[in-house]
Structure 1
Amino acid sequence: MFKGILLGFLAFAAFALSDAFVKLLHGSLPAYEAVFFGALLGLSALPFIKGEGDRWSEVLLAQRQGLWVVRAVASAIGTTAAVIAFTALPMAEAFALIFLMPIFVTILSVLVLKEHVGWRRWSAVVAGFLGVLVVLRPGFRELGAGHLAALVCGLAGAISMIALRLSGPHEKRITLYGAGVIGSTTLAGMLMLTNFSWPHLDQWLLLLGYGLLAALGAVLLMLATRRAPANHVAPTQYSQMLWAVLLGYVLFGDQLDWPMAVGIAIILGAGLFTFIREDKVTRWWKRTRVV
């Protein structure tokens, strides 16, 4: 159990460092180009995720192909939006808005899965959106495309999570992981056809860090969920906020004011509470192969 949770923390540290690498590009490459090369490098994790007896064709072919497509499209949109958000916003602010994903999952559970949601989880939804208002302070500061992109990333992640609930018990890890990397590579590759320029050497180095660290995070997360229940590993993703504050300060000179810190705390608290209630009420973690 301890090793699994520790691996979860290491996985999300790798993801946070990956996001820092893409932010270091400073938007010098189009977001879809960064996503394409990042996803292409993400394919390097497949040999480690492939289980004994798995077939390579299962990267593309799923038991529930429609849900595979939903996850592929949601992953492509979410990853592209994340790159835009991290390029335009301080890392902690971007993560705060992206971490609305559990709140969006609760709302989609009612709309799509027709689940009953009690007053406790609805209270967490309200608290999460109040936290967003505190962070964004509309009318008191300029809002831009980065804020919208972060919210889109959170919503896309929630859509992917709903599809995972429906397909997870029926699919293998290689299939679930394949949907993300193949979807991102395909959509970003299509967008690249309109305007493509080869990255320079320094950009290649940053892209390597972005893609390989994300692949490392995926492998560590898989190992974590083999050693500990997924519902114990999932909350470790909130450690990314600590990394965001640290990396944002050290690498980019980001500063947190008090209202933003309070808003981030509200969003994180609402998200963690939602995770706990989801586990107690739906027990869907026990039916799903991966986080």
Structure 2
Amino acid sequence: MNASTRSHSHVIGMWLMVGVTFIFASHDALSKTLILALPVIFVAWARYLIHTLLVTSVILREKRKDAFHTTRPWLHLLRAVFLLGDSLTFLFGLTHVPLAESTALVFLAPAFVTILSPLLFGIRADRLQWLSVVIGFVGVLVVINPGGDGFSLWMLFPLACAFCFAVYQMLTQLAGELDSPSVCSFYVGVFSTALLSLAVPFFWAAPSPSQWLMLLVLGSLGLSAHFLIAKSYRYASSSVLAPLGYLQIVFATGYGVVFFDSYPGLSSAFGMALICVSGLLVYAKRTSAVVTN
């Protein structure tokens, strides 16, 4: 792959990741609405059950003999464990922490990815990528204001979510080297649903028709996001894509204003600006490379 083709591939991967951030923000806003009325475990179980049913129907349509084949089922089980850690810690934290702040804390994950990528993949981020991570991290600190009155121990939950999500991202990149996005989505859904099914009888609920509809939309959003994550890693590495994830905080803030009457203060707005810059720095570099070539 020559330099021009590689740069163009990176741009495609980054646009896919932008789509992922918007879908995840939509998913999280809907999740917050649901967990105000239903148990967290039940919402997570329904979300992954719907995810699994949808991705299974997609794979069956392909009518390929090896549609469900994977050489590394253990890797998908490990992905499911960390994905559940990501989902449950975020949802439980969301019961006490506002959407924007929760999302901001989760975005310590790209820093973990960038730091761990050289150890796991031998991929070294360049100076601009490290700079973008530093700027984004400063922006996160400004948004959450750890010394302020709004900080609580509940914020440890989205912090744990950040670590789980970082590991999940790297495991997804490994899985995507041999398995298609649909296969990756199928197995993570099956394993996640199976694990949650062990606990959901103790947290059973009877959703209304409108809540079932929202759960269906939630599962569809989750499937779309994870499909695009797997797809994006076929075009670019985690160290390239990680900074763009910060855009989710901007989308989450918008949802907080519109649906939860949560308006960020001036300092939070400044932090959001820093986070946007962190992602756009890498995008601008890749875009200019494509134009030049």
Give the TM-score of the pair, scaled to structure 2: 0.74
Pair 275,191 (structure 1): closer, same or farther in 2 beyond 3 Å = farther
Tell me the equivalent position of 1:95. Answer: 103
Q: Distance in 1 between matches of 2:15 and 2:132?
A: 27
- Structure 2 residue runs of 5 or longer lacking an equivalent are 1-7, 287-293
Deviation per CA, 1:193-242: give whole Å up to 9, x if none.
333233344432332232233334556x389869x945799877555444
Distance 1:84 1:274, change over 3 A: farther
2:206 paired with 1:203: no
| Pairing 1:30–2:39 present | yes
- How many aligned residue pairs are there? 273
Shift of 1:157: 1.6
1:104-124 residue CA offsets vs partner (Å, 9 max, x unmatched): 101222454465556555544
* C-alpha spacing 1:103/1:175, structure 2 compared with 1 (3 Å): same
| Separation in 2, partners of 1:144, 1:151 | 12
Could you tell which deviates more after superposition, 194-203 or 31-40?
194-203
Q: Deviations over 1:217-274 (max 9, x none)?
A: 556x389869x94579987755544432222111110110122222233344445657
The 3 A distance-change label for structure 1 pair 106 and 12 is closer
Q: Secondary structure in 1 aligned to 2:34?
A: coil
Please, which runs of 5 or more residues in structure 1 have no aligned partner? 279-291
Equivalent residue in structure 2 for 1:166, among 147, 150, 174? 174
Tell me the residue number matched to 1:40: 49
SS at 1:209's partner residue? helix
Aligned to 2:257: 249
Q: What is the CA deviation profile of residues 164-220 of structure 1, one whole-angstrom value per residue up to 9, with x for unaligned ones? A: 33332112223211233123212322222333233344432332232233334556x
In 2 relative to 1, CA 165–202 (structure 1 residues): closer, same or farther, beyond 3 Å? closer
- Measured in 2, the distance between the counterparts of 1:6 and 1:124 equals 17
Preserved CA contact (<8 Å) 1:49 1:222: no
Are residues 1:53 and 2:61 paired?
A: no
Measure, in 1, the Cα distance between the counterparts of 2:249 and 2:151: 21
Residues of 2 paired with 1:277 and 1:112: CA distance?
Answer: 25
How far the C-alpha of 1:125 sits from its partner, in A, is: 4.4
Taking a change above 3 Å as real, the CA distance of residues 261 and 179 of structure 1, as seen in their structure-2 partners, is: farther
Distance 2:153 2:65 in 1: 41
Assess, with a 3 A threshold, how the Cα gap between structure 1 residues 87 and 225 changes in structure 2: closer, same or farther. same
Q: Secondary structure at the match of 1:254?
A: coil
Relative to structure 1, is the Cα distance of residues 72 and 272 closer, same or farther in structure 2, using a 3 angstrom cutoff?
Answer: farther
Give the CA RMSD over aligned residues: 3.8
SS at match of 1:143: coil
Give the equivalent residue in structure 1 for 2:190: 182
CA contact (8 A) 1:79 1:153 kept: yes
Per-residue deviation, residues 11-50 of structure 1 (Å, max 9, x unmatched):
6544432222211124332222111101111121343356
Q: 1:77 to 1:240 in 2, by over 3 A?
A: same
Q: In the alignment, is the contact (CA less than 8 A) between 2:47 and 2:218 conserved in 1?
A: yes
1:16, 1:244 within 8 Å by CA — same for their partners in 2?
Answer: yes
| Contact 1:134/1:260 (8 A) holds in 2 | yes
Of all paired residues, the percent bearing the same amino acid is: 29
- Structure 2 counterparts to residues 70-109 of structure 1, below 5 A: 70-109=78-117
Aligned counterparts of 1:235 and 1:16: Cα–Cα separation in 2? 16
Give runs of aligned pairs for residues 89-168 of structure 1, distance below 5 A. 89-113=97-121, 116=124, 121-144=129-152, 146-168=154-176
